[in-house]
Amino acid sequence: MEIGFTEVVLTVGVLLIVVSGLSGLAHGTVLSVSVISVAAGMLLHAVGVVDIDPRDHDVVALVELALVFTLFSDGLVVERELLVRHIGPTARALVFAMPATMVLIAVAAKLLFSELAWAEALLLGAVLAPTDPVITSVVVMAKGIPAKLRHVMNLESGLNDGLALPFVLFFIVIAAHEAGAGGEAAILVGEAAAGALIGLGLATVAGRAIDDMPGVGLTRKYEGVYALGVALAAFGLAEATFGNGLVATFVAGIALGVADRETPDAFHEFNESLGAVLQTVTFFVFGALVASIGIPTPAVAVALLILFTLLVARPLAISVSLIGSEMPKIQRRFLAWFGPKGVASMLFALFVLKSDVPEARLIFQLAALVILGSIVAHGLTDTVGANWIERRLKPEDRDPTG
């Protein structure tokens, strides 16, 4: 049934109360806030309280806003010194493991679902390539996790969201318009480059303005709001011109963080509550969407694709990419497993559904079910995994200083 504004406010309010009230339970058990939020969305859809159309513009806008917030946050914490110090494993994960994961998923999807063209299978791989450590925040923030591993996970997830987007848009063009796609692909590359320049320029000016105009009176209380304004302005300016808004947002985060290292701390304080609200509502909406899309046939093929994506594609790609690296074997295994699919993949899947790709609905269904499997699998193993690596780390591998 359709619900009005009052019902939406009531639903969101009750959702936030329940999830917040259970956050302590989630922190101390195998549950997670993301799992609880998704389960709530699925339950309320099943009983007829919530019915969400995945093609609804408001749904796309919500997920896009959550991704803008996530990308900017990820970019903001990328310190130049840490990027250089941990460039080895991060570069391996981005340059080799991410494309390899994309191709492995595409091959599996093509073999399991023959109706998919190769361009569509590669599109699915691109949708599922980025990772999202927001889902496994317990792991990333756990005290026992070596700082080097934590930084690599943050850098990889922050960078691969933005890097995967051009692939997604490119394969949408290829899959929807097999002929003459080269020109449109060139436009996508131009939009990504323009977005990067817009984000870099705007954030650099904004960062310098903080230092060059001390008399303006920007207080600590409003530094987080200032940073959020930069994120939204970068996204809006890029989208209003020729640029890619998501790329602009991520680059703006990096540039602002480099220009003013006090901003990330202020934004983190501002980010915690607002980010939690966006995360909770987004995963709730995703749960309702998953409950409404149905399962493609054969169901066995769907299950095999989920298992292959989570247990083979990323673990294999990461393991091979890190051969010969200085990262200890136990940390490599940990990084190979903790590559959850999250907000970026949700948004990319919605982009596909709204496109002219022939098998757009099937791609959306498969992506959504893989994301669901990832949320459950990684959400239920984050605390267990953090405890596992802390117990098994050798003393020389413990590096709290990064």
pLDDT (tens digit, 9 = 90+) per residue, 348-387?
998 888 888 889 999 999 999 999 999 888 877 766 777 7
Checking if the pLDDT of 252 tops 50, the result is: yes
Question: What would the mean pLDDT of 270-287 be, rounded to a whole number?
Answer: 79
pLDDT confidence bin for 215, thresholds 50/70/90: low
Checking if the pLDDT of 256 tops 80, the result is: yes
Mean pLDDT of the chain: 80
Which segment, 74-78, 246-250, 257-261, is predicted with the most confidence on average? Answer: 246-250
Look at residue 24 in the predicted model and tell me its pLDDT: 65
Cα–Cα dist 201/268, whole Å: 23
Look at residue 308 in the predicted model and tell me its pLDDT: 97
Could you identify the residue written with the tokens 């599996």? 108
Question: What would the mean pLDDT of 118-123 be, rounded to a whole number?
Answer: 94
* Domains of the chain, residue spans: 5-397
Checking if the pLDDT of 30 tops 60, the result is: no
Cα–Cα dist 82/74, whole Å: 13
The answer to whether the beta carbons of residues 346 and 131 sit under 8 Å apart is no
- Alpha helix stretches (DSSP H) within 132-180: 137-141, 147-176
Query: pLDDT tens, 144-182?
Result: 677 778 778 877 877 787 788 888 888 988 888 754 555
Question: What would the mean pLDDT of 323-335 be, rounded to a whole number?
Answer: 84
Look at residue 218 in the predicted model and tell me its pLDDT: 64
pLDDT confidence bin for 233, thresholds 50/70/90: very high
Look at residue 140 in the predicted model and tell me its pLDDT: 67
Checking if the pLDDT of 397 tops 60, the result is: no
Neighbours of 389 (CB within 10 A): 21
Look at residue 61 in the predicted model and tell me its pLDDT: 83
Look at residue 74 in the predicted model and tell me its pLDDT: 73
Question: What would the mean pLDDT of 60-68 be, rounded to a whole number?
Answer: 82
The answer to whether the beta carbons of residues 115 and 143 sit under 8 Å apart is no
Query: pLDDT tens, 83-119?
Result: 667 678 888 888 899 999 999 999 999 999 999 999 9
Using the CB atoms, write b or e for 335-374: b if 16+ within 10 Å: bbbbbbbbbbbbbbbbbbbebebebbebbbbbbbbbbbbb
Query: Nearest CA to 87 among 137, 164, 159?
Result: 159
Which two three-digit tokens encode residue 235? 């996204």
pLDDT confidence bin for 251, thresholds 50/70/90: confident
Neighbours of 219 (CB within 10 A): 9
The pTM (predicted TM-score) of the whole model is 0.82
Look at residue 179 in the predicted model and tell me its pLDDT: 45
- CATH class of residue range 5-397: mainly alpha
Checking if the pLDDT of 396 tops 60, the result is: no
Burial class (CB in 10 A: 0-12, 13-18, 19+), 328: middle
Checking if the pLDDT of 314 tops 90, the result is: yes
Look at residue 129 in the predicted model and tell me its pLDDT: 93
The H or E element that residue 250 is part of is: helix 245-259
Percent of residues, the chain, with pLDDT higher than 90: 20
Look at residue 220 in the predicted model and tell me its pLDDT: 67
